[in-house]
Structure 1
């Protein structure tokens, strides 16, 4: 059937049917509840900064709140301290980072019976035993460092435990995979210095978003394992540099690092990527023809989706990414980096919010993953990296 003939309502009905058809077994739910689940990237802080909601209680919108996290077994979501590239090279980037950290601290302070800030692997483990959801933090975009190593130390003290070096534009640290200008042809001079300093202080290096050249320079310079906190496999999205290719995965495994699979449909399938590119091109053409203030521009999003429904990916296609990492380098180098609250309404059927982790576990069980291997994906691989980073930093201080 031609997708252009499917109405938006029909698409939504199909999507809801697909979600309803996912049924996790008691075993999948038990695995979710009995084990730590670490998610490398959830954009709750930026979400509540834009439009405040109390995620310590049930919320009407968004992908994360306490009841849904408990239902899904999610108990160690890295809170993303996301600073848009539009604020690069401005004091506002550092200001926003502090405000978002404040918001995470406020969540934990407002509901100490539900949440706790986690700064170490031991914190995560102790919180799990106590029935609390850990809130470790990672900074998405190193712009707030402002080229000052003292800021690195300060953000570490505040609880930041990984830094995504760049975001959608090249910054003072690194080129971005999205930025074709390639200002530094990889890392900047400061960025190269920063790698050693992050190793020494115990800050995990996150290579999601950086250019391929920057990735390989990080691999040459780092003495500790790194992560891709929310990336997927380029094999399924040819030409999309934001995802990682097989050679990069091999280099990451050699480094003993972990790729944490992004759930956003545009990261999962070529079809969703092509749709996004065509959508952007059509919107740009309309603005050029009609002007930014045209009523047609105001209704463009709704009108476009009526005739070009979004091709949501599926749980099975997310599992294909996990399978591919395992096929290329083995089970020890893959984890979860959903990007919940960060990819809008592009989430795949079967994985629409944090309550659906049992669906993912059921899918892994159906693909004959052992419970031991599932635990590696859920937490053991990334906690190994975090421990190794902690261990390396401790050794430098002794």
Structure 2
């Protein structure tokens, strides 16, 4: 629940702005433990009641494709279709709560209602295989951005998490074709997870603005390539694009990654001693309890990243991409979709104007999305 001491101004702004979260991993969470997110759920960070409390208007549903799927031909596209089926089923079963949304215009229309817009992104370009026609297939099904890689190099380019030497030294030849086709379709290109060299290749090649759907600023995590360098943040802004700040504790400060690992290890050990399967109700309840008992960092840490990105890129090129349901550790008072007002309150304390906050909360991403559409 939102903190009781959040100012009325923060709550009002959360509910009167168009609040867009660029990256929520609900489809994968439900793939492992099926619940009805139209009602209060046992696990995770997103459900309709909490989203309503937090003022959320649009949540990009990330179709997370584990890199392990890349080793089996056809496995990643099959999983992507299955996760999309799940999102579409949600919208059919609960049309008053959720609506699949394929344009910024649709998001704006729904923002005046109680229905939450669910645009879709694909996390890991392995989902298109080696077939550009698959881009058309997923675009037709509603996918509006693709995170080019995840935690391993793939057929499109190199991942910042990739073990050993780069596979391509940036984008692959096929990756260049993918960028061209995404530009033609009007599909946003997401450089979260890629190496610096891959991101620079994208910037050199794209004709449309690009996004980082869920990243932080490397300034606070020196040497960690998963977060964006100052130079890349500035370059993304120069394309007209946007960096969407993630909430995950490991992204906020380097020491937080060291704090996170022992907690996750302890949870896994406890589940093992009890004989609970990871996808059992008991396991999900226990993991959720431990996550809430052990927050790492504070709301101010996320605000620090927003400050830094705004200083580099300007207020027109920063947004929010929480990574809810995709990370274990989250900051205190920023642990689920009911908590956006806590972040807004912190930014108000830092003298952000309401006009600037409306941009960061959603208007910037809707503008970028519209600009990408215009390149088709």
Which residue number in structure 2 is paired with residue 140 of structure 1? 123
Deviation of 1:336 (Å):
0.3
Output the aligned Cα RMSD: 2.3
Three-state SS of the structure 2 residue aligned to 1:40 is strand
Are 1:186 and 2:174 matched, yes or no?
no
Deviation of 1:392 (Å):
0.8
Which residue number in structure 2 is paired with residue 69 of structure 1? 51
Which residue number in structure 2 is paired with residue 41 of structure 1? 23
Distance 1:243 1:146, change over 3 A: same
Q: Is the 8 A contact 2:2 2:338 kept in 1?
A: no
TM-score when normalising by structure 2: 0.90
TM-score when normalising by structure 1: 0.85
Which residue number in structure 1 is paired with residue 189 of structure 2? 205
Three-state SS of the structure 2 residue aligned to 1:373 is helix
Distance 1:43 1:20, change over 3 A: closer
Q: Is the 8 A contact 1:164 1:208 kept in 2?
A: yes
Are 1:23 and 2:5 matched, yes or no?
yes
Q: Is the 8 A contact 1:22 1:350 kept in 2?
A: no
Deviation of 1:36 (Å):
1.1
Q: 1:391 & 1:27 partners in 2: Cα distance?
A: 35
Which residue number in structure 2 is paired with residue 94 of structure 1? 77
Which residue number in structure 2 is paired with residue 291 of structure 1? none
- After superposing on structure 2, the runs of 4+ consecutive aligned residues of structure 1 that deviate more than 3 Å are 19-22, 274-280
Which residue number in structure 2 is paired with residue 52 of structure 1? 34
Q: Is the 8 A contact 2:260 2:296 kept in 1?
A: no
Correspondence 1:211-360 to 2 at 5 A: 211-276=195-260, 312-344=296-328, 346-360=329-343
Deviation of 1:144 (Å):
1.5
Are 1:371 and 2:343 matched, yes or no?
no
Task: Could you tell me which runs of 5 or more consecutive residues in structure 2 were left unpaired when the two chains were aligned.
Answer: 277-285
Three-state SS of the structure 2 residue aligned to 1:144 is helix
Highest Rg: 1 or 2?
1
Deviation of 1:92 (Å):
1.5
Q: 1:310 & 1:64 partners in 2: Cα distance?
A: 19
Deviation of 1:126 (Å):
1.1
Q: Deviations over 1:71-90 (max 9, x none)?
A: 00011000001110000142
